[in-house]
Structure 1
Amino acid sequence: MSGQRVDVKVVMLGKEFVGKTSLVERYVHNRFLNGPYQNDTAGSERYESMSRIYYRGARAAVVCFDLTDSSSYARARFWVNEVRNCEEHCKIYLCGTKSDLVQNDRNARGVDYHDVQDYTDEIKAKLFETSSKTGQNVDELFQIVAEDYLNVTAFQVMTEGDAVNLAEKKKPTYLFGCCHQ
């Protein structure tokens, strides 16, 4: 199984300018580019109906919000509902971006951590606070997305007769692509 390629559709959702492109850039190329970035259709309200096509078939959704912008968190909740209504088996990962800004200035935080954690528990999702600028929790986020997918897939294909202690098996090497508009 080592070296096996695993393809899974992972979508990045969230309001414009919350840092979706920066998150992918940090993960894929291990760099942070100071914008400006081109507007992103996945985050634009005017492309909402088209977005349903974008996340059709997704197995994971990283729903981003800017930790300094409460309106982006409200919008993230919208995206969670959209994904849940269209892709019931899609696993949700809430991602608060720009954590470097709130670490440097606690007054900059526009989204209460405990409120987000309560919501995360309610929807049975996972929460990450990331910084694309510093790299904080970016690799961890995508690592968990990949591991969760592999664990669910392994569980689905196992039968009673060949149940194995997965903890003792060597984990496969895997690659996955992020769908991002």
Structure 2
Amino acid sequence: MSRVDLKVVLLGNAMVGKTSLMERYVHDSFNCNRPYQNTIGTVFAAKRVQVNDVTLIMGIWDTAGSEKYDAMTRTYYRGAKAAIVCYDITKSSTFQRAKHWVRELRSIEENCKVYLCATKKDLCDEGFVSDDPDIQNVVERYASGTQTKLFVTSSKTGENVVELFDEIIQDFISNPENLQKVEEAIVLSKKTGERYCCAI
């Protein structure tokens, strides 16, 4: 199996843009002509990231957002170092669901850092009005109160997508224990001749 140093999971309601977020970061692409489809189960992607003189392999699990897949989703976020909890900036109900994931992660995966991600900022920029005009103020207060880092993103334009993942990487490597495990994994990979495929 391919080496993964930094496991990241994407959580949130169906159709909030988790898959688009992953594709923008991994492949720097956005397909506006693609019909909307719910993720069934989980989609995986990997990216090789160079940080100073260390090469990290980031594995990203894009999970299904439908509640009927909740039990399955929990098996994928176990052991994750970071979780990106997404909500659609135009739909306040998706933020309520995001709070569920934050609570669950904090109670089960204590070592997993949580990042709150507002998606589809481009719709607001184009004049689309949210169903709750005060949603962003509510979210900012919530993020501050729960010490959760908040990013407002657009997968369509790429705004703040790289910045979000860069923050995750910096938080990960700031922990000496994480770096030690990466170095051990690199040595093991060289000894076993392990090969892996990932986006550059």
Same fold, TM exceeding 0.5?
A: yes
1:32-56 C-alpha deviation (Å, 9 max, x unpaired): 0123243224211001112111100
**Structure 1 residue ranges (4+ consecutive) displaced by more than 3 angstroms after TM superposition:** 108-111, 153-157
Instruction: Give the unaligned 5+ runs of structure 2.
Output: 42-63, 181-197
Q: Give the deviation of 1:60 after TM superposition.
A: 0.4
Mapping of residues 103-114 of structure 1, within 5 Å:
103-105=125-127, 107-108=129-130, 110=132, 112-114=135-137
Q: 1:165 maps to what in 2?
A: none
How many Å apart are 1:16 and its aligned residue? Answer: 0.1
Q: Please, which moves more after superposition, 125-134 or 38-47?
A: 38-47
The aligned residue for residue 148 of structure 2 is: 125
CA deviation after TM superposition for structure 1 residue 112, in Å: 1.6
TM-score (norm. length: structure 2)? 0.71
Q: State the SS of the aligned residue for 1:108.
A: coil
Q: How many positions carry a matched residue from both structures? A: 154
Letter in 1 for 2:137: H
Structural mapping, 1:1-181, within 5 Å? 7-34=5-32, 35-40=34-39, 41=41, 42-105=64-127, 107-108=129-130, 110=132, 112-153=135-176
Q: Mark the CA change 1:58 to 1:68 in structure 2 (over 3 Å): closer, same or farther.
A: same
**Identity of matched residues, %:** 51
Structure 1 Cα separation of the partners of residues 176 and 30 of structure 2: 33
- Relative to its length, the structure with more strand (as a share) is 2
Q: 1:94-135 CA deviation, whole Å, 9 max, x = no partner?
A: 000000111221623646212111111111110000000000
The one of the two structures with greater contact order (alpha-carbon pairs below 8 A, sep at least 6) is 1
Cα-Cα RMSD:
2.1
- The answer as to whether partners of 1:67 and 1:109 remain within 8 angstroms in 2 is no
- What's the TM-score, normalizing by structure 1? 0.78
Q: Which runs of 5+ in 1 are unaligned?
A: 158-176
Asked whether the equivalents of residues 122 and 157 of structure 2 are also in contact (C-alpha less than 8 Å), the reply is yes
